[in-house]
Amino acid sequence: MNLLLQPNWQTPHNTFPFPDISIADIEVAIKEGIRIEAEEVANIASQSTPPTFENTIVALSATGQILEKATTLMYNQLSACTSEELEQLAERMSPLLSEHSSNIMLNEALFARVKAVYDLERLEPTLQEEDKMLLEKTFDGFERSGATLDSQKKERFRAIKAELSKTSLKFSQNNIKETNAFYLHLTDKSQLKGLPKSQVDQAELAAQEKSLEGWVITLHAPSFVPFMQYSEVRELREQLYRAYMTKCTKDNEYNNFDVCRKLVNLRMELAQLFGYPNYATYVLKNRMAETPDKVYELLENLKIYYFESGKHDVAAVEALAKEQEGKDFTLQPWDFAHYSHLLQLRDYNLDAEMLRPYLELSNVTSGVFNLATTLYGITFEENKDIPVYHPDVKAYDVLDNDGVFLAVLYTDFFPRTSKQSGAWMTSYQEEYIDDKGEHRPHVSVTMNFTKPTKNTPSLLTFDELETFLHEFGHALHGIFAKTRYKSLSGTNVYWDFVELPSQFMENYALRPEFLRTFAKHYQTGEDIPQNLIERIRKAHNFNAAYACMRQVSFGLLDMAYYTRTKPLEEDLRSFEHQAWQSVQLLPRMEEACMSVQFGHIMSGGYAAGYYSYKWAEVLDADAFSAFMERGLFSREVAKDFREKILSRGGTVHPQKLYNDFRGRPATIQAMLKRDGLQLPDQ
């Protein structure tokens, strides 16, 4: 029996029965799901009754449930637990899914009904706020999917969507394979100079997993990042950095140069089909920023406030390097993390390894969960009866403050070759309400944290603590969802608003009141020392301006690609350099190319949207200042934040949501203050 074809499963909360679903089942379910949804859509389009909001818009939002389950499983597993067989399936299904989507969105009879409801509502408004948002989102979806184009442009639109789907998948697969293909095999103890014991243990474990003697350093973050910070062997740092920054640039089947050009040019052509000058203008129509000019205004403001301080950050690191290595030493990109670490150690007596013993993963998990309990009254209970897709994964029942079931939360913490790098939150089931009642969400947080070894449990860095809080903030956005329609639920919001709940949670990492609730030495049980907390707080703004400029450079690169009005034919390395040279603070490595591995803007959802992180940072700092003013753990403010932001999803324009919560629009002052900068005199 193919469980994906069944409406319900004999699992707690109707969660995915992962072990009982094969890749062959997914393929069958996708094909059958396409057939069934096509019939559902045809029935809506061919109704003889006049179009209404319920019989057309709501009915359309409820189609495709089998297909949604199958594709949700496929795409989530491609990121978290992939295989050659699954990747091959995705390649086969990609054109079918693209064609199916186009068949719906280019169905003229269906669009005529949608447009009739939309036009009537504009003439005689009767709908409630959430219903109106669903109608507007549905109409806009059709319009932006080619429904208003002439027949020739419709066919070209269909072809572009199919190519984008296939090419995005190719980009991601190349990136994963190149990341996994390289490793630094160390066989001499002298090559480990400077590495802390935790890193050495990890490297030894990585070697054992490859049946090798010695130690292995990989391009995955828990291996790459600390090696670049701690290794005293400059030649190895350079070798590892060059390997990382030249991923997907080699003369092999995983080269992404042409793939990137194709993605950029297809998106430009798609936008121009609709009469937009470029892809950024097309995308930003449905963003808080609204126009490329406003994005550039944000990036330019950040440059004004942060660039000079960023130069000072780099100069201080270079000065220390010259003190240690001689005045002729030239700081290179593979040196920056190492000498930054040494400078932080000198000026603040702080090192990531000092914190690890107090950030044992199970304690951190309890601390993060208890923070949600303190703020919102919700609780987390591990449920071992919920099936999981990998032994590393845990599943929890999330209960509301009255004990009523609220959501399922999956946690997946450790790197593996079948998992993409980075960290993310995703949903296996969105919250929504239908004639059967309310369906509560199933959400997942997926990370790549430092793994336990034979000698120690998983001990996190402070950055990993912040990552946990970030993804958990996204999870709360999904967990608290309370909307009627799944397409407006949880994180289904404007892209430059979605990072507010996640970045908001990161603020707690620096609060002693939070750290003291869980940060205890994993061996002795002693609390994290007060003087160590103070050093963390004082060092928080260390290199903050440099980090901001790095984010601005990524935003400028993104906008450079997607404000183009002519096809991209240039060498990508040169294009990159031109795009971000005005804010670059480190020497350029000629062979390096970020674009070919920059999944956010090439294969992810951040094309013409990378600025969103900084846009949302203005919001999160301003929002957190409400807690600073009225109480760090204020239940009253948290209730407001939950009810006015987290539970509302995309049912209301995000600017209105934020204004309702804060009583005014956000200002940049709170972010500047948090980063140790001040506004210039007005």
The three-class DSSP label of residue 586 is coil
CA proximity to 18, closest of 407, 385, 388, 386: 388
- Asked if 514 and 410 count as a contact pair (C-beta separation under 8 A), the reply is no
Q: What are phi and psi of 664, to 5 degrees?
A: -170, 165
The terminus-to-terminus CA distance of the chain in angstroms comes to 70
Q: Which two tokens stand for residue 6?
A: 């069944």
- Asked if 220 and 415 count as a contact pair (C-beta separation under 8 A), the reply is yes
Q: Tell me how far apart the alpha carbons of residues 646 and 635 are, in angstroms, rounded to a whole number.
A: 14
Only one residue has tokens 């071992």, namely 384
The residue ranges of DSSP E strands in 451-569, in sequence order, are none
* Neighbouring-strand partners of residue 405: 399
Q: Tell me how far apart the alpha carbons of residues 662 and 656 are, in angstroms, rounded to a whole number.
A: 10
The three-class DSSP label of residue 415 is coil
Catalytic residue among 37, 353, 471, 499: 471
CA proximity to 280, closest of 269, 291, 296: 291
- Asked if 385 and 40 count as a contact pair (C-beta separation under 8 A), the reply is no
Separation of CA 237 from chain center? 27
Residues in the chain: 682
Helix/strand/coil (H/E/C) assignment for every residue in 304-348 = HHHHHHHHHHHHHHHHHHHHHHCCCCCCCHHHHHHHHHHHHHHHH
Q: Which two tokens stand for residue 167?
A: 């090419």
Q: Tell me how far apart the alpha carbons of residues 49 and 468 are, in angstroms, rounded to a whole number.
A: 51
Q: What are phi and psi of 398, to 5 degrees?
A: -105, 125
Q: Tell me how far apart the alpha carbons of residues 388 and 413 are, in angstroms, rounded to a whole number.
A: 13
Q: Is the dihedral of CA 248, 249, 250, 256 positive or negative?
A: positive
Q: Tell me how far apart the alpha carbons of residues 122 and 299 are, in angstroms, rounded to a whole number.
A: 36
Q: Tell me how far apart the alpha carbons of residues 375 and 185 are, in angstroms, rounded to a whole number.
A: 46
Q: How far is CA 184 from CA 146, 194, 251, 664, in A?
A: 49, 16, 20, 52
Q: What are phi and psi of 559, to 5 degrees?
A: -65, -35
Return the half-sphere exposure (C-beta side, CA atoms, 13 A cut-off) of residue 632. 10
* Neighbouring-strand partners of residue 185: 216
Whether 617 sits among the annotated catalytic residues: the reply is no
Q: Which two tokens stand for residue 302?
A: 């950040």
**236-244 contacts at long range (C-beta below 8 A, 24 or more positions apart):** 236/184, 236/186, 236/191, 237/334, 237/335, 237/338, 238/332, 238/334, 239/184, 240/184, 240/334, 241/333, 241/334, 241/589, 242/334, 242/589, 242/591, 242/592, 243/182, 243/184, 243/219, 244/219
- Tell me, what amino acid is at 505? M
The residues annotated as belonging to the active site are 471
